Each structure stands twice: as C-alpha cells, then as structure tokens.
Structure 1
Amino acid sequence: MAERNLLRELGQHLTGMDNMCFQLEHPRRLMTICSVWTFSQRLDTTLVMAALENLCTHHPRFCLVPKNKSPWETPVWYRPQQHWNFRDNFSFHTLTKSTMAGLQQYMACQYVKPFNNDKPLWEAHLLSGLENKQFAFLWKVHHSMSDSIGLINAVLATATSMDPKEEMTRQKYQQLQFEKARRKFGILWQQMMMWFLWGWILVCTAMQQVTYELWIVALLLKPWFAQLRRLSLLPIQFLLSNPPMREWSYDDDQTLEKLMAWTEDLDRRDIDKILRILGGSHTTPDDVVFLVLGRTMQTYLQQQQKEQNGDTFRVLIPVSFRLHTDWSMRNAVLGSLLELNLGNNDTTASLNIIHQHTTIIQRSMTAYILYDIIIDRLLRYFPFLMTMVMPLWIQKWYTDLPHATITNIVGPTTPVFFGGQKMEACHVFPPQCGKGSISIGAVSYGDKINLSMLTDNHPAYPDLANALCKIFVSEFNAVVDEAMEAANGFGVEGIIM
C-alpha cells in the first residue's frame, strides 16, 4: 500500500500553488508551517514511530522531495537520497528551560533553520524537560507540501486517534444547518419584505464587491506603475524600490531571529455569547477574532506610544477553495487582504462591518482568477514566470503590504490521543509575510480556542509576540464583559447561561 500511494505522487510535477510556495522561500521569511502539541505525560516512542510511519504510508509527500532540473521546468516530486528513512527526520531533545517560554524559545530557534533539501521537507521533534513532567511534539513542514488546513487534517487523521469521517460529518452538518438558517422564511408578507430588502442589499453588495475587486487590482498594479514612473524620471531608481511603510516596520533588514508565543485558552462559549448578544445570527467566530485582533494591534501601538498611520490594519486572511470534506494534502488556499478599519464604531457595528468585508472577500472573483488561472495553471506549466513577473523587489513590495497574516484551523471537538497520551493543546504558526508582519494561527480544539503569534525579534518592538498575546486576551475579556453587561441590561437571562 505504501509503495502504491508513493507511485501516485512520484514523478508528478508540483501544482502551480505548490510551485509558488516553493519559489517564494526567503531566508528572512521562510515558507514553513509549524505546529506544537503538548501532553501531560510521557509519550510512548513506539507508538509515535508507528504514527509517523502510518503518516508517510498514507501521504507520499512526506517521503518525497521537490527538485527541478532547470529554472525553466516545474519541480518534480523525487525520491530522496538512498537509504532515507522517516526516522531521519525525527529527533529527541531535552529543553534546558522547563517553562513554556523556554519551549517557545526553542521553537523559534528551530523555525528559522531552513530544511535540508536532500530530505523530505518536514521535521518532527519530541521534546522533554518541561515543568510538571510535560512533553511536547513539534512539527515543521514546508508550505510546498500543503496548506495549513490540509496538513493539520492529514496529520490528525492518520497519526492520532481522531476519526476523520466523524469530523467530516460534523463539519458538513454544521454547514448545512448554517445554510438552512439562511434560507428560512416566515409568512408571505415577511417573504415579500425580505425579497425587497434582499434586492436593495444585492445592489449595495454588488457595488461593494466591485469596489473591493478594483482595490485589489490597484494594489497588484501599484508597484509596477510606481516603478515605471520612477524609471521615466531616473533609470537608476528602478533598483531602489520603496515598499510601503506601515506599523511594525523598521529601517533595518528583516530580522533572522523570530519570537513565538500563544494566548491562554479562550472558551468557545464566550465567543458564542458575543455572537448572540452583540453580533447577530449572521456573524461568525472569525469575525470576533478579527475584531479583537484589530483592537489588540491598536492597543499595543497606543501603549508603546508608536506612531499610527490611521485606524486601518491590513490582514491577509485565507480564502479556501476546498470542500468541507476535502482533507487532502495539497495547496488549495489563497490569501486575500482584509482591511480592519475599526474607527470609533461600537462592537456591534464593528462586527457587522467586518462580516460584510469578509463575505465580500470570500466571494471575490479576483482571488479565484489569481488562484485558478494565474497561479495554479500558469505557474504549473511556466514556472519561470515567477522570477520574470515577480522579481525580488516586487515580492518584497507585496509581502510588506499586510500587517498580519492569519490562518484558522478547525480542530477536533473531542479529545485526541497521540503516542498513547491525550493532547492537551495544539498551536499552529503559518508562514510570516514581510518585515514586521505578524503571523497568527487560530486553532479550535474541544471547546477551547487559542491564538499563536510569530513576529520578528527586533529591539524596536521588544517581546512583541508575547505582548500581543496578553493584550489579545485582555481585549477579548473586555468584549465578553461588554456582552454580559448588554445581556443584563436587556434582561436576557437565557443567553448568558
């Protein structure tokens, strides 16, 4: 079975999206996805090895390496060097610092180390030495193998006790219930009113959609027009591209050293309270996360007395082209920019605005055209276009646009066992964008949600990742308190239970 699965990928070209992730690798912003699992007891090494072997059996990309013969050809999945074994990508380590901060420091040191291209582009570290005899398991995987959603789902489905069919059924049921609620109508006159309102909303939505598409296209074309203008005035300035300055940027080159941290667990029921009391039936947990994230960034800049260029933050959010039952290891997610402009709006208004913007992004035709035509097709057959159309100065301009990039992983709702022990927590770090940007992974596990943050380690913003995590929890609790006060003010007793 292992060999049969391997032959399905062996000799196959990388897809356009895989190829883009492979070529975008930069020593100061690695295309690495990182995840760490924590356990309260020692893991059974025999079971861990069996889980890794099962993972490699079911997902051939864990046994292959992408290589290209020339820049003009798309990389192909090849077998690694002779006598390679999955154990070669596995290591043990005892932490010198037993605290969670020591674990985060070790992870940050491992994150910045590039992969050995002669081996499959993944690593696994079994970590001991944590306080209270806890253990941790660290994963490092290159983005060219899969996006975060496919990677985490593949690992959980084949290396842990999670039942993938049960999780797929649950997610599909939730989506059907959501769609059913949206299609629910009342009596005839209510239906007529709804159709009238929908007609008006459709016109407004179409205008907003067109505005967003034009804004994205303008962002894509802006560096080209800027360079053409400079070139017509002074040819040497073609080499001196000035990326847009924004918060968390600094004058030096992007740092090689990184910082990692995560928030304490947040109760999913608190998010449900916020949605029911302040958000309404149409808003989602993601909208709450974006709201609190925007306030977190705003509060940090105010506390540090840093100059802020307006109230707008640009966050690169995932636009998935997967079905809910698609758990395959592949790249089927594209990032699109969300502008968080909180201003002086109250929480309810901010949630509605954010939901409106995220809805526009999710149905964006520009994102679909970029993914399906330009990236997945053109880069699949013409890989050299990446370096011709997007030289380093263009890549730098684009990667410096977002203040943050975020990925959302819907984890299992029931406890998961790995290596004979129950997983206590799971944290995910997506790849970072440009200089000063924040990499954020939002993960739900059971009835808890946590956020993990990866930032540059620069003296202008000391201990940035840890500071943002603490502020996020504080801002989240403030929104929960606001929801409780609103519920009590209206006498809503059942909502706050």
Structure 2
Amino acid sequence: MTMIKKSDQQLGGLDTLFLKVEHPRRLMTVTSIWTFKRRLDQKQVYKVLERLCLEYPRFAKTPAHEGFFKPAAWTEPVDWSFQDNIVNHTLEEPTRKALQKYCAEQVVTPFDYTKPLWELHAISGLEDDHYAFFWKAHHALADGEGFIRSLLSTTSLNATLKKLEEQSVVSHRRKKDIASTKKKDSSLTDRPKSSCHKAFAYISVMMNLFWIVLYQIYVYSVVTIHDLYCVFLCVLPVTRKDLYYKGLQSHEKEMAWSDDVSIKDIKIVREAFGGTLNDVMLLVITRCLKSYLESIGKRNDNYISFIIPVSLREPSDWSFQNVVSGSWGFFSMKDLDTRHLLNQVKTEMLAIKNSLGPRMLFETWQWFFSHAPGLSPPMSVYNHICDIPHGVFTNVPGPTVPIDFAGEEIQEYRTFPPQCGKGSIGMALISYSGKVSIGAIADVHRDYPEVANGVCSRVAEEFQLVLDEAKMEISKKNLNSHKKLK
C-alpha cells in the first residue's frame, strides 16, 4: 500500500504562490524539449506515463477547494486518464524554427484546471524524420529539482536515481559522523610534542583565525550591501530600462536555444580565471545580452539583473514539491575585461549563496499562503516585483551520459523556466552528456526583435572568445613557470 504524503494532499505555500503570481500574459509554466531519432512506441510511452502518475500523485491531481484561510487541496479529477493530457502534432515545416514556434505557442496556452496541470506534446515532422517530446507543467507542481527527479525517473536513469535516493539519508548522516570523528581524531593526534611545536602551532592557528575573521567580515559586508539594495529596489518605484516597453505585456512568446558548449572547455576557462561553471556561463550570457542590446542601439542599464533560484533542499530531500527560493543577481554590462567581469560575477554569486534572504522569503511565503491564501497581495504588487529584474537564470543539471526514454535514446535535452515579468527573458543553463547549452523564452515585441534568438545565437561565439583568452592565459603561466625552472 502506497503512503500518501502530506505534500500530495494540500498545496504548500510556494505552490500557492506560483498560482497567485501568474496572469494570462505571464504563465508560470515550466517546459522541456526532448528529441529522438525516431518515433517512440506508444504502448511503452503509456506504461511510462502511468508509472509517473502513480509514483508522483501530483501528476494525477489538480488544485481545488481553496478557502480564504485554507489552501487548495490536490484533488483527483473526475473521469480523467493520463491519455487526456497527451497531444499529437505534426510540424508544417521540418525546421528548428517551426519547432520553436509551436512550443512557444503552447507556453502561452493556459492549463485546463479540470485536468492535472501538465501536458505532453508528441511532435513529428522534424528534419530527418526525428521526433520530439515537449513537456509542459505548472510550477505549482514542483521546483526544478523536483521536475528533474520525476522526469528522469521515467528514463534509463531510474534505477540509479532509486539507489541514490536510498543512500542519500545514510550518506548524509555518515558525512556528519565522519566529520565529528575527524575532529576527535585531530584533537588527539595533532597535539604538539614540544614547546617549539606548540609555539608554531599557536601562531598558525592565530593566523588562520585572523584570515577567517577577515573573510567573514568581507562576506557579511558583501551580503549586507546586496540584500539592502534588493530591498531598496522593491520599496521604490524603480524600473529597468533595458528589455522593458510601454503598454501591456505581449501575449506572443518566442523560444530559442544555443549551440552546445563542451564542459571540458569550460574547465579550461575555470583553470585560467577561476569561478564555477555557473559563473563562467553567466559571464558569457551577460556579454551576449550586452552585445544584443548594443546591436539594436538600446542599451541603457549598466547592470543586467537576474532572479537566481536557490534550492533549499536537504541532501536527502527528493520530494516532488516546491522547496526553492531566490535572489537577484546584478551583473555588469560595463566594458570590463574577462578577469574583472568574472570576479564581479563571483562576488554577486557569493552574496546570493551566503544570504539569509532566500530562506527568510521561503519560510514567510510558505507559512503565509499555507494559512491565509485569501490575503494574497493584489496583482499590481506582483507585477512591480516581477518587472524589476531583466529575467530569470537557472542551472538545470542533467545526466552526464546519454539516456533512454521508452526504449529510445534522447538526442537533445533542453529546459526553459517561466518568465518573471514584462519584457523579461527566462533562461536556463542545461547540461547533458558532457555539454551545456542555453535555452531562452521571451516576449515578442517590435522594440526588441528576436531577443531570445539574438542572445542564444551569440553564446557559442562569445564563449569561444573567452576560451581563446583562457588558453592564452594558461600558456603564459606555463611559459613563466618553465622560465623559473631554468
């Protein structure tokens, strides 16, 4: 007998927030595109979807019966089967542009709330007889990690994921135990044997303590300045200039994705300049946006601002629900060289990672909408907050090796987050099989023509410039070290 979790009975506070914050021109829809070399066997697909609905009950339920002081409950729809959420479509032209156009049209189509809030579009008519699946789901179901876990459980990774899930609690505890025993062992074995050793050990400890204190002061000052600036933006009627336009938000959307970038090449950049994979790709995206805006003569802001989602899950938390918050990151569009821009990006990410703001926001919204969803702020408040950043940037880690779905290998794997506000661009960094790419969704508007494609089409070329610079930097270091050895 399957135990029904509390999260599958009632909507959590963040689940409710994603329902409240959307309007017809800004739907909170998470999407993903998978491509295959050939058409999939329908019977196998049906088996997989049936298992998905059983293992993750939210895929078989819809939110209903919300009260003023009572959140909605996940309710089983009457006379529904998962086949009702499958749509078959054949493209008019076998092109990437036709695929992007069809998927963008589905993003702006609201869900039917008499059915579970997800759809699977089986798309044929691609070039070379390829086949595509377009997944579409409401953010109220789960956060990015929840969707990744659920969808990847339908692939050949299922057995591996189950092992990881079983071991996660044990390994998490084991790490704590190991850490505590190490501390005990070190306290016993690291005792200095002489007065000279004691003096050196004392000086070393004091020096380490001094640098730790200095670093913590630096981190807290960076976090404080960052968080105060975020509050300042929320309180005052300040709006960005770039990617913003007058009038109602465009109902029409566009989607695009970049060419792949090798993770091995990203490691070369990191070796030369430091930073994480996220930091490097944020640098590239910032430059791509800057280049696009300058190409149409409309760059006004000195910083591009993104909502950066922050996962608040424990290592052992594999639940299918929203356990996520976020903060704003501000990335310079000034004419900085690569090293200085990457350092600026790293400082922003340091502030986001160490801020208590995301946790406080999560706890506040979780409690508030779990107890009084009827007291939700008016849409104008949501619109103001959502229109402040230029977009959303999220990292979606995917499988490191090719995987199968319903007996067929997934050739390409792409994901797209929802937009945050008018004129904003929703961007996801997707990794799959040793490569990464950028997926983007944006408004269609005459003031910013083809902005999604304008950014994505620049990614590979912009990264190559950074990679060439990194290789030159490494070769200089190697040359200098070789001279010293001589």
TM bracket, shorter-chain basis = 0.7 to 0.9
Pairing 1:203–2:226 present = no
For residue 475 of structure 1, give the secondary structure of its aligned residue in structure 2: helix
Percent identical: 34
Which residue, 118, 127, 130 being the options, matches 1:131? Answer: 127
Q: 1:159 to 1:347 in 2, by over 3 A?
A: same
2:197 match: none
For residue 154 of structure 2, give the secondary structure of its aligned residue in structure 1: helix
2:36 match: 39
Instruction: Give TM-score, length-normalised by structure 2.
Output: 0.88
What is the rounded CA distance, in whole Å, between the counterparts of 1:33 and 1:493 in structure 2?
A: 49
Q: 1:491 to 1:159 in 2, by over 3 A?
A: closer
- Offset at 1:47? 1.1
Pairing 1:457–2:444 present = yes
User: Partner amino acid for 2:336?
Assistant: N
For residue 123 of structure 1, give the secondary structure of its aligned residue in structure 2: strand
Q: 1:334 to 1:493 in 2, by over 3 A?
A: farther
Which residue, 101, 106, 118 being the options, matches 1:122? Answer: 118
What is the rounded CA distance, in whole Å, between the counterparts of 1:493 and 1:121 in structure 2?
A: 59
- Offset at 1:462? 1.4
1:222 match: 236
Q: Is the 8 A contact 2:107 2:136 kept in 1?
A: yes
What is the rounded CA distance, in whole Å, between the counterparts of 1:166 and 1:219 in structure 2?
A: 45
What is the rounded CA distance, in whole Å, between the counterparts of 2:370 and 2:7 in structure 1?
A: 16
Which residue, 238, 244, 249 being the options, matches 2:244? Answer: 249
Q: 1:167 to 1:10 in 2, by over 3 A?
A: closer
For residue 491 of structure 1, give the secondary structure of its aligned residue in structure 2: helix
What is the rounded CA distance, in whole Å, between the counterparts of 2:7 and 2:304 in structure 1?
A: 43
Pairing 1:480–2:467 present = yes
What is the rounded CA distance, in whole Å, between the counterparts of 1:416 and 1:166 in structure 2?
A: 17
What is the rounded CA distance, in whole Å, between the counterparts of 1:322 and 1:492 in structure 2?
A: 45
What is the rounded CA distance, in whole Å, between the counterparts of 1:393 and 1:430 in structure 2?
A: 22
What is the rounded CA distance, in whole Å, between the counterparts of 2:243 and 2:231 in structure 1?
A: 25
Q: Is the 8 A contact 2:154 2:405 kept in 1?
A: no
What is the rounded CA distance, in whole Å, between the counterparts of 1:325 and 1:468 in structure 2?
A: 37
Q: Deviations over 1:144-203 (max 9, x none)?
A: 000122112211023544421466679x89xx8xxx9xx9xxx96776544332221221
Q: Is the 8 A contact 2:29 2:137 kept in 1?
A: yes
Alignment of 1:169-208 (within 5 A): 193-208=207-222
2:141 match: 145
What is the rounded CA distance, in whole Å, between the counterparts of 1:481 and 1:211 in structure 2?
A: 34
- Offset at 1:399? 0.7
What is the rounded CA distance, in whole Å, between the counterparts of 1:207 and 1:62 in structure 2?
A: 44
Which residue, 368, 372, 376 being the options, matches 1:382? Answer: 372
Q: Is the 8 A contact 1:402 1:437 kept in 2?
A: yes
Which residue, 393, 406, 417 being the options, matches 2:380? Answer: 393
Q: Which runs of 5+ in 1 are unaligned?
A: 224-242
Paired residues in the alignment total 456
- Offset at 1:216? 2.4
1:66 match: 63
User: Partner amino acid for 1:285?
Assistant: L
Q: Is the 8 A contact 1:161 1:418 kept in 2?
A: no
What is the rounded CA distance, in whole Å, between the counterparts of 1:404 and 1:117 in structure 2?
A: 27
Q: 1:363 to 1:24 in 2, by over 3 A?
A: same
For residue 449 of structure 1, give the secondary structure of its aligned residue in structure 2: strand
1:233 match: none
What is the rounded CA distance, in whole Å, between the counterparts of 1:132 and 1:103 in structure 2?
A: 14
For residue 30 of structure 2, give the secondary structure of its aligned residue in structure 1: strand
Q: Deviations over 1:335-386 (max 9, x none)?
A: 21001125343322322222222122122122211111x1011111111221
Q: Deviations over 1:18-65 (max 9, x none)?
A: 010111121000010010101112212111111101100100000110
Instruction: Give TM-score, length-normalised by structure 1.
Output: 0.86
Alignment of 1:220-299 (within 5 A): 220-223=234-237, 244-279=239-274, 283-299=275-291
Alignment of 1:149-164 (within 5 A): 149-162=145-158, 163-164=160-161
For residue 410 of structure 2, give the secondary structure of its aligned residue in structure 1: strand
What is the rounded CA distance, in whole Å, between the counterparts of 1:262 and 1:245 in structure 2?
A: 25
1:305 match: 297
Q: Is the 8 A contact 2:290 2:299 kept in 1?
A: no
1:240 match: none
For residue 323 of structure 1, give the secondary structure of its aligned residue in structure 2: coil
Pairing 1:25–2:40 present = no
Q: 1:190 to 1:157 in 2, by over 3 A?
A: farther
Q: Deviations over 1:192-233 (max 9, x none)?
A: 54433222122122222222222223233335xxxxxxxxxx
